[in-house]
Chains A and B, each alone.
Chain A
Amino acid sequence: MLTAEDKKLIQQIWGKLGGAEEEIGADALWRMFHSYPPTKTYFPHFDLSQGSDQIRGHGKKVVAALSNAIKNLDNLSQALSELSNLHAYNLRVDPPRFPLQFLSQCLQVSLATRLGKEYTPEVHSAVDKFMSAVASVLAEKYR
């Protein structure tokens, strides 16, 4: 469960990204496709080469959704409701905890490469919990 301290840390760290959010989104996605090739099976219609417009575009979407979630940490279910429907009924990505686990890992690596020591154990813990919470909400409507 996200504590008040976790929420504060997440908002603070997201605030430190200073406009690099889109770059991080694209970087995290590229790392995910590279480290976990099975995740590419959900994007057969994409140009998956490094730096592709589609990866950049999709990274931007993912980060925008996460930014929105971070502004609504007290009500993730509602904030992510549309996305939850999309994943359950249209996209039907295999139970979100798996791809989200890989996306979570790659997002955290991307954040850590940029933030260095500022990616403290406490921040790491808060972000990990946040991504878990997002995955749970996205999985809510699967069945």
Chain B
Amino acid sequence: MVHWSAEEKQLISSIWAKVSVEECGAEALARLLIVYPWTQRFFSDFGNLSSPTAIIGNPKVRAHGKKVLTSFGEAIKNLDNLKGTYSKLSELHCDKLHVDPENFRLLGDILVIVLASHLGRDFTPVCQFTWQKLVGVVAHALAHKYH
């Protein structure tokens, strides 16, 4: 089980309080599809993904980004039981969606960059360390039920 110090938990919640789940979720997912275009393969029914502008403005991308980050919010409420929290989602990503878990790491890193660009200097090296740890652990939990 992952150990979270009091300081880490505090850093996570204080940063999370500043996050607009809708904005950051939409932006993170859009960046995933733009920076790593092969990830578009999972979203073939999302309509127009032909350019960065199209992706950023795409309502399905925005809605799905919000969904993904809302789920992240659940992880933050359940830091001491991430594997349990993500058990069903892990099975879904393996059995139905067939997503290579490497993509969870990519999205995690992108989320960290989105936070950095929104928070500027407030996203200190200590914040980054805590959030890199968090996205890594979430990615791990999502991959846990793969078989």
Check A109/B129 contact, CB under 8 A, given A122-B52, A124-B113.
no
- Is the CB–CB distance between A121 and B116 below 8 Å? no
Neighbouring B residues of A121 by C-beta, 8 Å: 27, 30-31, 34-35, 52, 55-56
- Is the CB–CB distance between B128 and A34 below 8 Å? yes
Contact with B along A1-41 (1 / 0, CB 8 A): 00000000000000000000000000100110011100000
Asked if A114 is an interface residue, CB under 8 A from chain B, the answer is: yes
Contact with A along B42-71 (1 / 0, CB 8 A): 000000000010011000000000000000
Asked if A115 is an interface residue, CB under 8 A from chain B, the answer is: yes
Question: Roughly how many angstroms separate A109 CA and B126 CA in the complex, as a whole number?
Answer: 12
Neighbouring B residues of A117 by C-beta, 8 Å: 117
Question: Interface of A with B (CB < 8 Å)?
Answer: 27, 30-31, 34-36, 105-106, 108-110, 112-117, 119, 121-122, 124-125, 128
Write 23 A-B pairs (CB below 8 A) sorted by A numbering.
A31-B125, A34-B125, A34-B129, A35-B129, A105-B109, A106-B128, A108-B113, A109-B113, A109-B128, A110-B116, A112-B116, A112-B117, A113-B116, A113-B117, A115-B117, A116-B120, A119-B113, A119-B116, A121-B31, A124-B31, A125-B31, A125-B35, A128-B35
- Is the CB–CB distance between B126 and A112 below 8 Å? no
- Is the CB–CB distance between B35 and A119 below 8 Å? no
Neighbouring B residues of A105 by C-beta, 8 Å: 109, 112-113, 132
Main secondary structure, interface of A, reads: helix
Asked if B123 is an interface residue, CB under 8 A from chain A, the answer is: yes
Shortest Cβ distance from residue B103 to the other chain A in the assembled complex, whole angstroms: 15
Neighbouring A residues of B35 by C-beta, 8 Å: 121, 124-125, 128
Q: Who on chain A is nearest to B126 by CB?
A: A34
Count how many pairs of residues, one from A and one from B, have CB atoms less than 8 Å apart in the complex: 65
- Is the CB–CB distance between B129 and A113 below 8 Å? no
- Is the CB–CB distance between B125 and A35 below 8 Å? yes
Question: Roughly how many angstroms separate A31 CA and B132 CA in the complex, as a whole number?
Answer: 11
Asked if B118 is an interface residue, CB under 8 A from chain A, the answer is: yes
Asked if B41 is an interface residue, CB under 8 A from chain A, the answer is: no
Q: Who on chain B is nearest to A104 by CB?
A: B109
Shortest Cβ distance from residue B108 to the other chain A in the assembled complex, whole angstroms: 10
Neighbouring B residues of A119 by C-beta, 8 Å: 113, 116-117
Shortest Cβ distance from residue B10 to the other chain A in the assembled complex, whole angstroms: 17
Neighbouring B residues of A34 by C-beta, 8 Å: 125-126, 128-129
Which 9 pairs between the two chains have the least Cβ-Cβ distance? A112-B116, A112-B117, A125-B35, A109-B116, A121-B34, A35-B132, A35-B129, A31-B125, A119-B117
Q: Who on chain B is nearest to A110 by CB?
A: B116
Contact of A122 among B34, B109, B117 (CB under 8 A): B34
Question: Roughly how many angstroms separate A113 CA and B56 CA in the complex, as a whole number?
Answer: 21
